[in-house]
Amino acid sequence: MTRYYTRVCNFYYGAKSKILVEKNKSLPLHGIKEISFNQIEIITRKSKKIVSINQINKLSHSLKKKINSDLKKITSRKKSFCNLKFNAIPNLLGVLNLTPDSFSDGGKFNKKVKAIQHAIYLFNSGANLIDIGGESTRPGSKPINEKLEWSRINKILKLLSKKIPISLDTRKSNIMKKGIQLGVKLINDVSGLEYDPETTNVLKHNNTPFVLQHSQGRPENMQNNPFYKNELLDIYDFFEKKLKFLRSIGINHNKIIIDPGIGFGKNLKHNMNLIKNISIFHSLGFPILVGNSRKRFIKDISKKNDSKLRIGGTVASTIYMMTQGVQILRVHDVNEIMQGIKVYKEITKN
């Protein structure tokens, strides 16, 4: 039986979008008039076909039923949680690496005073949450033991969780448990809950919101010739299967965020295809997060190697994904990204 996927496309943003929605010429994404679309791409493993929204009723009964079911998820408004508000401006997850070896800022903020100052700076610059991590998962990195990871983040978490909303970047269930006890609002596990089998039990027991990220392989080997039959559809299928499993074990809340995992077991072609077609993941019915900040794809395209000089590529990819309805961006340079977002939004305002 042919498997069909629905990707909304031909987006409008800002004032033009509002006008088209009011004239019933486009559909609002997540119930937001400032972002809308008037076409869908119907995808199978062997074909692609773009149709306008007014042609859906001309499709076969079974296909029409499938697409209308997807459109219901795509157009439904998302409820706020974890200080994340889902509207026309994407939420920002500010990165705070308390590590000596992260790919772009290792060792820069792993001292207590600098870490706290930077977290507050990121929050005041416009971050909705500060994503704190004590273990580097950059390509080629090796896992560290739980004791070392906790020693890096423990004191900072205790101090910051009382002042600002915190997301915890960890793959380990005991670290998650301790972080939740300290008031962490969101768990961000780059392994897609695959690294530690106990993580799902911790999240279920505490009813904690979390990011479900796709990753092929582990950091130490994930960039060794990653392969997919079709990266876009393979990753979509991963999410669908994982979400079904999570429901089956009793995680029934909708405070789940989908992250396709740019750079985690993907080459330039994979990353570009995911970014260009990111809107396919709206039909899963959950908010989308993308970690595009200072990633290698920017270096590969621009031919600039220094990861500290990738703000331009980060801003460009952020603006594109904002116009595709991506609700959360995980970024290092919150002030600069927020500036770019505000300027673009003002330009499209009238």
Sequence-separated (6 or more) residues with CB below 8 Å from residue 313: 297, 298, 301, 302
Helix residue spans in the chain (DSSP H): 15-22, 61-75, 112-125, 146-160, 173-181, 199-206, 231-248, 268-276, 296-302, 311-323, 334-347
**77 labelled catalytic:** no
Look up 330 and say whether it is catalytic.
Answer: yes
Q: Could you give the count of Cα atoms lying within 13 Å of 93 in the half-sphere of its Cβ?
A: 29
* Options 242, 255, 295, 296, the catalytic residue: 295
Q: Pick the catalytic residue: 18, 78, 242, 330?
A: 330
State how far the Cα of 30 lies from the Cα of 25, in Å rounded to an integer.
16
Query: Per residue, what are the HEC states of 210-273?
Result: EEEECCCCCCCCCCCCCCCCCHHHHHHHHHHHHHHHHHHCCCCCCCEEEECCCCCCCCHHHHHH
DSSP structural state of residue 84: B
How many residues can be counted in the chain?
Answer: 350
Name the residue among 46, 41, 49 with its Cα closest to residue 74: 41
Contact call for residues 304 and 281 (beta carbons, < 8 A): no
Do 177 and 155 touch, CB atoms closer than 8 A?
no
> Which residues lie across from 84 on neighbouring strands?
81
Question: For residue 86, how many C-alpha atoms fall within 13 Å in the half-sphere facing its CB?
Answer: 22
Distance CA(25)–CA(344), nearest Å, equals: 23
189 forms beta bridges with 212
CA distances from 285 to 6, 26, 71, 275 (A): 12, 19, 9, 18
User: What residues are annotated to the active site?
Assistant: 295, 330
